[in-house]
Amino acid sequence: MPAVTDVLIVGGGPVGLYLGALLLQHGVAVRILEKRTGRNPHTRAIGIHPPALSALDRIGAASPLIARGIPIRRGRAVWLGQEIAHMPFAPVSERYPFVLAVPQPVTEAVLEARLLELDGGALVRGAQVTDMHDDGGRVTADATVAGTRRRFSASLAVGADGANSTVRRLLCVPAAERRYPDHYLMGDFPDSSPYGEDAALFLEAGGIVESFPLPGGVRRWVVRLSRPPDRPDPHLLAGLVGDRTGIALDAGSNSMLSSFGVRSRLAARMVAGRTALIGDAAHEISPIGGQGMNLGWLDAESLAPVILAALHSRPSGADLRRFNASRRRAAAGAKRQAEVNMALGRPLPDGLLRMRNAAIARIGAAPALNAHVARRFTMQ
């Protein structure tokens, strides 16, 4: 006999956990099937933007995250050791006048704790979904759980299973892919910079260096490269940061190192029959600008009322079409913003670099323009 629930969510990453908690709060029975037996230890996302903090507040997760993160209240643009512009986030959102920096494993731990508080059995770990069927009335999913095949049945299903989504593949939803010439080397070190709780972008000729404060006196450094590093190591990263910014990092104290290339993928649609796609399953966006996870939470927030209406026998094709259109528009906008962010970080010859940096300094000196750009950077 299949295990029966109202909504089946495939994927217990940040987006699936958030949607699960949101629906449980409305009395909806939820099962989240997650193939990992433990939490993902990789620190990917660190930036939580103001609209996402408002969304997280709806499940009571904003305060515990704020208690464990660093509020970044402004970004500073630096060139040759001099600040050429700074962008305060304060006037942008009155409620959350900052971007919150929290490592993704901490974010996922807070979301999981909230979910399990609402229903201790909502998350089924070690459950890998391999097949799904939609008979027009219900969705069934087959999963391998601890070597055993189990079947789950639900009124509705949601694929929140990440960039290589099995659900998207099973639904035969194509996803347009674009690859970019940008590569990044990223690592965490004890903070030896003078930037405290500010983000700093170093707009240098060899390519951008981004740096963000993290809890525990740590700072994340991200260096743009034109090709993948031959052998990523903390000495290479510390050397690149030193050469481009003049800031010395202690390679021996590195606590996280990762290198990544960039692509984007947008699913052709976010709804198929009784199943919706959200988060990276629906749209993979370049991490530069830190929007992917935020975008996924905002998908979940706008999908929840559509699910509630459908479960209360008011299924509306118009609601689904609106959800699909508005969230695909949001994803396309985030993808464009990420492309601008990446272009900003590419190496430039001296003349063009001077012109570009002078333009950034002019924007920084014009409060209305600066606030407009701050809104774009903070997803508002």
Ligand X SMILES: Cc1cc2nc3c(=O)[nH]c(=O)nc-3n(C[C@H](O)[C@H](O)[C@H](O)COP(=O)(O)OP(=O)(O)OC[C@H]3O[C@@H](n4cnc5c(N)ncnc54)[C@H](O)[C@@H]3O)c2cc1C
Binding site residues, ligand X, CB under 6 A: 10-16, 33-36, 40, 44-47, 104, 128-129, 160-162, 166, 260, 279-280, 287, 290-294, 296
Q: Which is nearer to ligand X, 36 or 76 (CB)?
A: 36
Q: Shortest gap between Cβ of 326 and ligand X (angstroms)?
A: 18
Q: Shortest gap between Cβ of 330 and ligand X (angstroms)?
A: 13
Q: Shortest gap between Cβ of 294 and ligand X (angstroms)?
A: 4
Name the residue whose CB lies closest to ligand X: 13
Residue positions counted in the chain: 380
Q: Shortest gap between Cβ of 208 and ligand X (angstroms)?
A: 15
Give per-residue burial for 52-75: e unless 16+ CB within 10 Å, then b.
bbbbbeebebbebbbeebbbbebb
DSSP for 283-323, please give it: EE--STTS-HHHHHHHHHHHHHHHHHHHHTT---HHHHHHH
R_g over Cα of the chain: 21
Q: Which amino acid is residue 319, in one-letter code?
A: D
Q: Which is nearer to ligand X, 10 or 266 (CB)?
A: 10
Q: Is 172 exposed, middle or buried (0-12, 13-18, 19+ CB in 10 A)?
A: exposed
Q: Which is nearer to ligand X, 74 or 357 (CB)?
A: 74
Q: Shortest gap between Cβ of 367 and ligand X (angstroms)?
A: 26
User: Of 250, 243, 342, which is closest to residue 291 (Cα–Cα)?
Assistant: 342
Q: Which is nearer to ligand X, 18 or 79 (CB)?
A: 18
Q: Which is nearer to ligand X, 69 or 296 (CB)?
A: 296
DSSP for 209-245, please give it: EEEEEETTTEEEEEEEESS--SS--HHHHHHHHHHHH
Q: Helices 14-25 and 104-118 meet at what angle, rounded to 10?
A: 30
Q: Which is nearer to ligand X, 13 or 364 (CB)?
A: 13
Q: Shortest gap between Cβ of 297 and ligand X (angstroms)?
A: 8
Q: Which is nearer to ligand X, 348 or 379 (CB)?
A: 379
Can you say how many angstroms the Cα of residue 282 is from the centroid of all Cα atoms in its chain?
12
* CA–CA distance, 271 with 190 (Å, rounded to integer): 44
Q: Shortest gap between Cβ of 299 and ligand X (angstroms)?
A: 9
Q: Shortest gap between Cβ of 320 and ligand X (angstroms)?
A: 20
Q: Which is nearer to ligand X, 25 or 40 (CB)?
A: 40
End-to-end CA distance of the chain: 46
> Token pair of 331, please?
């994803």
User: Of 51, 50, 39, 53, which is closest to residue 116 (Cα–Cα)?
Assistant: 39
* CA–CA distance, 104 with 169 (Å, rounded to integer): 26
Other CB atoms within a 10 A radius of the CB of residue 239 amount to 14
Q: Shortest gap between Cβ of 170 and ligand X (angstroms)?
A: 9
Q: Which is nearer to ligand X, 64 or 69 (CB)?
A: 69
